[in-house]
Chains A and B, each alone.
Chain A
């Protein structure tokens, strides 16, 4: 009997192939969509983390208060000791010292007179030490337009847009004018090693990127840094984990009344990231949920129609003396098989595309012109454990529920009525 039913299932394309294709497509879309939303939301967060926020950030309490004014007079001191403490406390994490600063860039002509001048936001980070991860983290090689990355002290990177506006070429000198840590005006000369284009307007307007030791020298910040940012080993932001981390760190300074004592903040506690992290989380959850419900409805209907279409066959089987319960159960088993086969194929395909988009990404740089928020310039997926099982919810459950509901008709209808439909 089972063999007989399986033969029928395999031979009847409208009973097997078609529903499997429908389930496969539905599950494929669900899985890919989930990975895509997770990836897109996550990528934006990671981008912001890499550039400015870190997954967590250590500052002085005073600096934290006025973070967006880049108050380097409130910077952390004795940074090396603090770095050691952090490495000891959180062995799995990566830490990077950063100094963000603002000022003017002045381009001199041959005679030393100002040829062009413009405001610039500068960032000092570890470009030159042997095992620095910052160059890779910010993908400088990928966004380099002209020239090369700095190889020795005094060399800096500027944004390509800025270099065009100021007519300054790699190899030329520029002068930074700003204020030192203790408030006195300083001027410092750098050599432009290369230009960068991030594809993000806020970064491309007037960015100066220098090795942190040069910045310390220029701003008189020996063993100081505005911020130390930390990253989780696996490279992904996790809000809960971030909160656990800062709790552990801040507990150590709970009784320290000093306003220059270090304090650690999560990415979500910095600027507009709070709303974004929350939004990303909600979006990822709810869009996935809505999608699962929508696909569920589609597959439910497919199951329902598939069942209704078979009232004729049901009539024949009833006439032959098969019990209603037996017919009903065999239809449910069939839908379970179809649901599982379709879900497995759909999940596999969804993961495949998601995996491709996780490793390669789809370039959307062109679409992101003029974006003021830091948005990733490639769409990437991110495969998380739910991607492996989420698709089965619409895939199996909805298909089976649809079939089960349509099958109730077998019970509700008079046998003779099923028969009328058969004769029709």
Chain B
């Protein structure tokens, strides 16, 4: 079963008096458990596509269906529900809540799901174990290194065991060692939990880990490479 179906996706942004076309007819499908990446130069539309898949933005034309739900037709509440239950986000700049502890940052998605304390505690400790941060539970982001911050962000994205994780340039602020470290971590989680990962990147290190590479150019799929099937 496909968990993402994109048909003839066009995205235009209003710009000045006219419009700017960021995506010009994208057709793509992703199945469960994929470890895939959108690759392309700056401005090619990677983030735009990821945002639409993540229900943070809507298509101008065409259709995008994520986990059976048509992104363009969801209202604000339904989109929030989809994100809350099924999607995890990882960002270039980590975007952790600065005044909250590692534990609390990872807890936040579970609070939205209204899980009780014991359930939460178990899931949080599991997630922190995956990323090897069980000893930093009470630390706050300003006390952590960049690599540690991104690991917290991964734990936060993974803690509710979403079907799909969207990662926009997750290694852009990390050195080589840390980049490999978190990529291995995500690859493991992909294998163990069968979570679908979709990256947007132009980082060689990330690209080498991908099982499927989709090359974007000027808002269109230019080329595609499948390294290995999931």
Which residues in A have some Cβ–Cβ distance to B below 8 Å?
1, 4, 7-8, 11-12, 312-313, 315-325, 414-416, 419, 422-423
Contact = CB atoms under 8 A, between A and B. Distances in A.
Contacts of A11: 99-100
Interface string B113-132: 01000000000000000000
Contact of A319 (B56, B76, B81): B56
Contact of A416 (B57, B92, B114): B57
Contact of A12 (B55, B85, B99): B99
A318 B104 contact: no
A419 B92 contact: no
Contact of A321 (B57, B84, B93, B104): B84
A320 B108 contact: yes
Interface string B97-111: 111100010011101
Interface in B201-218: none
6 contacts: A1-B111, A1-B114, A7-B99, A316-B96, A323-B80, A422-B91
B108 to A, nearest CB: 6
B138 to A, nearest CB: 13
Nearest to A319: B89
Contacts of B107: 4
Contacts, number: 74
B15 to A, nearest CB: 13
B92 A320 contact: no
Given A7-B100, A415-B57, A416-B57, A321 B95 contact: no
Given A11-B99, A12-B99, A416-B56, A324 B76 contact: yes
Contacts of B82: 321
Contacts of A414: 57
B77 interface: yes
Nearest to B169: A423
Interface in B52-102: 54-57, 76-77, 79-85, 87, 89, 91-93, 95-100
A322 B104 contact: no
A423 B93 contact: yes
B99 A321 contact: no
Nearest to B48: A416
A318 B76 CA distance: 10
Interface of B: 51, 54-57, 76-77, 79-85, 87, 89, 91-93, 95-100, 104, 107-109, 111-112, 114, 156
Given A8-B99, A313-B97, A318 B56 contact: yes
A319 B99 contact: no
B99 A312 contact: no
Contacts of A415: 55-57, 76, 79
B109 A321 contact: yes
A320 B84 contact: yes
Contact of A315 (B57, B95, B108, B109): B95
A4 B108 contact: yes
B112 to A, nearest CB: 6
A8 B111 CA distance: 14
Contact of A322 (B51, B54, B80): B80
A210 to B, nearest CB: 74
Contacts of B91: 422-423
Nearest to A415: B56
Nearest to B114: A1
Listed residue (A321, A415, A422) with the most chain B CB atoms within 10 angstroms of its CB: A321
Contacts of A318: 56, 80, 83
B56 A324 contact: no
B85 A321 contact: yes
Contacts of A313: 97
Given A8-B100, A11-B99, A423-B91, A321 B111 contact: no
A4 B111 contact: yes
Contacts of A321: 80-85, 87, 109, 112
Contacts of B84: 320-322
A316 B153 CA distance: 11
A291 to B, nearest CB: 34
A53 to B, nearest CB: 61
Given A4-B111, A323-B80, 20 more contacts: A1-B111, A1-B112, A7-B99, A8-B100, A12-B98, A12-B99, A315-B95, A316-B97, A317-B108, A318-B83, A322-B80, A322-B84, A324-B76, A414-B57, A416-B57, A419-B51, A422-B95, A423-B91, A423-B92, A423-B93
